[in-house]
Amino acid sequence: MNLTIDIRKLRDSGVGTYLTNLVPLVINAMPQVAFTLIGNTDDLASLPWTHGKNIRLVDYRRRPYSPIEQLEFPERVRFDTDLLWVPFINIPLFYHGRLLVTVYDLNFLALPQLLSRSQRLYARLMFSAIRRKAAHVLSISQFTKDEFLRYVPGRHDNVTVTLLGTPPQWQTASSAGQHAPHPRPFFLFLGNVKPHKNLARLIQAFKQIAGQVPHDLLIVGKKEGFIIADRSVEAAAAELGERIVFTGYLDDETLKSYFAQATALVFPSLYEGFGLPPLEAMACGCPTLVSNGSSLPEVCADASLYCDPYSVDDIAARMLEIAHDTNLRNTLIARGKQRVAQLTWESCAEKTVAVINNLL
């Protein structure tokens, strides 16, 4: 049996986290399967889990979403492939073999106002093709599955929910004895600057309470390089001067130290297919304040404080609440540790392997 995986987005945020944590577990659980990994072979060869006897590497470095890849990519898939797993929506339209697709969210269809006309057309094309061509779809939350069935109507029996997890190394962070990464108390936001992340309202909410708390607001993530980046955020942040800090990208070890020292992660996103940042924060013992919509209540359960992401006043009120109430923060930290223990990559891999075995 032969399984080919398009692993070109291994180094990306989001999809890269999914691939890095899940694919090695799947390979380890299926020694009887021959795996072909299509991507940057220099990157792949540096990883210890790509050196098994049942693993073949195929070099292909063209970035997803380029028109020419639709012609080139099928040529990289070997003739003996029994199943092609594409872990994002940009499936090869001219590939006619058996196909497994991972869907993370439907924001391209649910939030069309954030896209250009060409982007909306492209998203509709891809999701329509997934409906027709995919033998099975992996969804990272029940919310995403429900959205997929809502916006891409069709079969209901070929979508499986595989909730994500956090790797054990995230649970090693502790604030005890750590050098403070910032000189003042701070709220933390983690995510790229895109409109659905709701940073404009978060900044407005912080502006409301800035005179009542000693905290700064630290925003971790890239500001540049995104087609639909929210250009209003930087201008709004400038009004608060040094009280708002854009840290840029942080590696995992540095980020863990920020989580461990933060008063809370504030994550008022309008739309998330899963939302890993709250789970990562919980694993590091950081209280979380998240939106009361999309997948976040499903993921965070009773381990987060919730806010109305469309209400600046409510975001501000909840930020004050979590800043001033030590008992609340301690309760959220304890519940967060429990929630992290319930959501694991091993469980995600077990369900994924079951789907793959059935397809093979």
Q: Report the distance separating Cα 290 and Cα 297, nearest Å.
A: 8
Q: Please give the structure tokens belonging to residue 12.
A: 């990306």
Q: What is the DSSP letter of 32?
A: T
Domain segments of the chain as ranges: 2-165+344-359, 168-342
- What fold is seen in the domain 168-342? Rossmann fold (3.40.50)
Query: Which residues, 6+ apart, have CB-to-CB distance to 255 below 8 Å?
Result: 190, 220, 280
- The model's pTM is 0.91
What is the model's pLDDT at position 196? 83
Q: CB–CB of 188/286 below 8 Å?
A: yes
Domain 2-165+344-359 shares a fold with domain 168-342:
yes
- In the predicted model, what is the mean pLDDT of the chain? 91
Exposure string of 230-268, with b = 16+ CB inside 10 Å and e = fewer, is beebbebbeeeeebbebbeebeeeebbbbbbbbbbbbbb
Nearest CA among 3, 8, 25, 6 for reference residue 344: 25
Q: Report the distance separating Cα 230 and Cα 204, nearest Å.
A: 14
Summarised one tens digit per residue, pLDDT across range 83-130 is: 999 999 999 999 999 999 999 999 889 988 877 888 888 889 999 999
Summarised one tens digit per residue, pLDDT across range 229-281 is: 556 667 777 788 889 998 888 888 899 999 999 999 999 999 999 999 999 99
- What is the number of residues in the chain? 360
What is the model's pLDDT at position 228? 43
Architecture of domain 2-165+344-359: 3-Layer(aba) Sandwich (3.40)
What is the model's pLDDT at position 174? 56
